[in-house]
Amino acid sequence: MERASGVVVYCLEHGQPVFLVLRNAKHGTWGFAKGHVEAGESDSQAALRELREETGIESVFLHPRFEARDRYAFHADGRSIEKSVVYYLGRVRAREARLSKEHSELRWGSASEIASLLQFPNLREVLADAVAFLENSTNARPDWDTALEVLLGNDRESPQLWQRHSIRVSEVAHAIARSLHERGQDVDPDEARLQGLWHDIGRKFGHGPLHGWEGYLHLQRLGLDAHARGCLTHWLKCRPKSEVLATSGLDASLVEQMFREVPLETTTLLDKVLSLADAIVKDDQVVTLDERYADVFARYGESPWLRRNAEIARSQLREIEALLGRPVLDVVRG
Ligand SMILES: [Fe+2]
């Protein structure tokens, strides 16, 4: 039995998956990037190596719970060989791939466009599995262990303060969103929990004023930008573009880029929940807004930007408490 592994690659465009297929230069058939598992390699290592060799794709997020197996037999040198292939599902940022010598053509397309190119029924089944997996939106979101791994990496044993802060913000955002959801509001508690966990991920690269943007770019490189919005919304605190341009001191072209890449002009209830959660967690403790901003001003000085942050946080608190019908701190402290 020969072992091989591969990756069904896709990117999201307007919320819809667009898949990548390659045309084999020798046989003219379409398929996904794949190849032999070499000695000492795990299936997923081999899949990532083959993907890199065949498409140049270096940065891909493999969904940890997806696996599709394909088994078939073929004839070579007068004997029948059985082959088993495991396929992973990998998300990339955008349609970025280059052709290697092994393939004559590559194509991106919707599930139905790609299905019509795949002549092997087994591969059509692999694609159908991937589509079904992605249609279940809880699957499109990484599971909690993976989410923590992204946050903590090598710090799993002894998280740094900003990482403990992130975990607490995540719990607080989750609790507020759950209560709002129970009261009929359109907000997804699990998404709030995830964006809360990653809102400060840019601190991996330093604590400068650009940590929100750096965090966003980091998650984007991992193919996780669907959950990266919180990096920007907690930082810009849901300000409209005109206000960010006028008051942030950020480079105008960067502001334009951020608002072009991410629809920040429309603020969702989840954005406000996350912004508020961050505003009531000092280090890893839940505090009042007054306590939190007293600490912020003591640490960074009372700039107009930070004073405005405090003002926005107060109005978000009022809005969310009106929806909850009770104090946020009661909800959070249970
Ligand atoms: Fe934070």
Query: Which pLDDT tens digit goes with each residue over 42-60?
Result: 999 999 999 999 999 988 8
| Residue 287 alpha carbon to ligand 1 centre in Å | 13
| Residue 304 alpha carbon to ligand 1 centre in Å | 19
| Residue 278 alpha carbon to ligand 1 centre in Å | 5
| Residue 185 alpha carbon to ligand 1 centre in Å | 24
* Distance separating alpha carbons of residues 132 and 322, to the nearest angstrom: 39
Together in a domain, 149 and 237: yes
Contact 252, 229 (CB under 8 A): no
Together in a domain, 134 and 159: no
CATH number at 110 reads 3.90.79.10
CATH number at 224 reads 1.10.3210
Together in a domain, 123 and 187: no
Torsion of CA 45, 48, 51, 52, to 10 degrees: -100
Together in a domain, 128 and 206: no
Q: Averaged over 212-223, what is the pLDDT?
A: 85
Helix (H) / strand (E) containing 9: strand 2-13
pLDDT score, position 305 = 95
Where is the domain boundary, 116, 139, 162?
Answer: 139
How many helices and strands, by DSSP H and E, does the chain display?
Answer: 15, 10
Where is the domain boundary, 139, 171, 203?
Answer: 139
Among 306, 231, 221, residue whose Cα is nearest residue 262: 231
Together in a domain, 100 and 152: no
- Per the listing, tokens 């083959």 go with 50
Where is the domain boundary, 104, 139, 174?
Answer: 139
Together in a domain, 208 and 105: no
Model confidence over 104-157: pLDDT tens digits?
999 999 999 999 999 998 999 999 999 988 887 666 788 888 899 899 988 889
What's the predicted TM-score (pTM) here?
Answer: 0.67
Together in a domain, 223 and 276: yes
Angle (deg, nearest 10), helices 144-152 and 161-182? 150
Assess whether pLDDT exceeds 80 at residue 3. yes
| Residue 140 alpha carbon to ligand 1 centre in Å | 25
Residue type, 243: E
Together in a domain, 99 and 232: no
Number of domains, the chain: 2
Residue 120's domain comprises 2-139
Among 41, 20, 39, 40, residue whose Cα is nearest residue 31: 20
| Residue 269 alpha carbon to ligand 1 centre in Å | 18
* Distance separating alpha carbons of residues 72 and 92, to the nearest angstrom: 28
Residue 16 sits at the vertex; the CA angle it makes with 189 and 69, to the nearest 5 degrees, is 90
Mean pLDDT of the chain: 92
Together in a domain, 36 and 121: yes
DSSP at 160: -
Radius of gyration, alpha carbons of the chain: 23
Together in a domain, 288 and 164: yes
Among 51, 44, 32, residue whose Cα is nearest residue 124: 32
pLDDT score, position 138 = 61
pLDDT score, position 207 = 75
| Residue 192 alpha carbon to ligand 1 centre in Å | 13
Contact 250, 214 (CB under 8 A): no
pLDDT class of 230 with cuts at 50, 70, 90: very high
Provide the sign of the torsion angle of the four alpha carbons 137, 138, 142, 148, taken in this order. positive
Q: For residue 95, what are its two tokens?
A: 């349609």
| Residue 288 alpha carbon to ligand 1 centre in Å | 15
* Distance separating alpha carbons of residues 287 and 283, to the nearest angstrom: 10
Together in a domain, 189 and 290: yes
- Per the listing, tokens 């299905």 go with 115
Angle (deg, nearest 10), helices 269-279 and 229-236? 60
Q: Averaged over 28-48, what is the pLDDT?
A: 95
Model confidence over 305-318: pLDDT tens digits?
999 999 999 999 99
Together in a domain, 165 and 291: yes
The residues whose Cβ lies within 5 A of ligand 1, an ion, are 200, 278
